[in-house]
A and B are shown apart, each in its own frame.
Chain A
Amino acid sequence: MRRLAILLSLIAAPLMAQVQGVELDEPVALPAFHLENDLGETLDKDALNGHWTLVMFGFLSCPDVCPFTLGNLEAAVSETSMRVRPDNVPQVVFVSVDPARDAGTVSDYARYFHPDFRGFTGTRDQIDTLIEATDSFYRLMKPDASGYYEVQHSSAVSVIAPDGTLRAKLQPPFDPGATAEFLARLQIAYRRSLNQ
């Protein structure tokens, strides 16, 4: 019976957590920024034009929340790809706010979760530009005796529309079905707003 109770509570939990995203009242234009990665690729404002993008901030040595979030995001994007046109499937971008440790492997890290996921980092001021523009947050904590430090960071994911503006925030736990539904509706509203 205990297993059954757990099973029932597990099935009920996602139904209770239906709020997977918040649409902004007004779209926010992003400022110029420049990020890069270990493959020599760059990500700037112009690279966001013409397709949907989901931006997640984090750090590679995040033991618990980041891998779980990226795994869930992969499932959510996969679910979204079954509901929207192929050219509307969002590109997922992981931005490390910890370039000192992560610059050498950030693209490998992102691709571990899906071959199409892209990882970037950059100089402190360029990271901060994107953090501020998306109303996000991070803080590097004090190193412990071994030199290891933790990083606090926003858990929400920023949704950037094909016109390069911030349109919404996705919130954990990124339930695949509910997140896909939210994104599909957001895209419909976006296309309507363009046609007005």
Chain B
Amino acid sequence: MKRLAVLALSLMMPLAASAGGLTVSDAFVPMAPPGVMAHAAYFKLTNDSPETRRLIGVRAEGYAMAHLHRSVEMGDVATMSAVDAIDIAPGQRIVFTPGGLHVMLMHPAAKQAEGDTVLLTLTFANGETLPVQVPVTRVRHGS
């Protein structure tokens, strides 16, 4: 049921940004717990253009660094690895979601509160950039 709750939450949010046939939707940054150096941003990225687009990086205002990252369960062990590039075929939607692809946000300059926004700028191999204002939310888990 938690998936449903996340879905319900995401349905309430407006589309965040689109440019050149690329659309970011359902973006959110779960509020960072105290004491953390890194947390994450999630969204869906849809390619409605006729060409494959390649996401190669991300910048986050208010953070020292931001990376495209993927969590992987290897056996019983949680591991993460950096992702250099993600190809998005025409009509394809890439989902950044907890436990999978995420934007790792590192070394926040200031603590955020619920309702703040984080400006993410997605960068693509063809030189395009797509700025997205992402709301900081307190994620509700469970049924």
Which residues of chain A have a CB within 8 Å of any CB of chain B?
Answer: 6-7, 10-11, 13-14, 60-65, 67-68, 71-72, 74-76, 78-79, 101-102, 104-106, 108-109, 112-113, 137, 146, 148, 150, 152-156, 171-173, 175-177
Contact = CB atoms under 8 A, between A and B. Distances in A.
Interface residues on B, range: 35 or more
Contact of A102 (B35, B80, B105, B141): B35
B36 interface: yes
B37 interface: yes
Interface of B: 1-4, 7, 30, 33-40, 64-65, 69, 71, 73, 76-80, 98-99, 102, 104-107, 139, 141-143
A123 B5 CA distance: 39
Nearest to B46: A2
Contacts of A74: 141-142
A95 to B, nearest CB: 14
B78 A175 contact: no
Contacts of B141: 71-72, 74-75, 176
Contact of B78 (A11, A152, A176): A152
Contact of A137 (B77, B106, B107): B77
Contact of A172 (B4, B69, B80, B99): B99
A68 B97 CA distance: 10
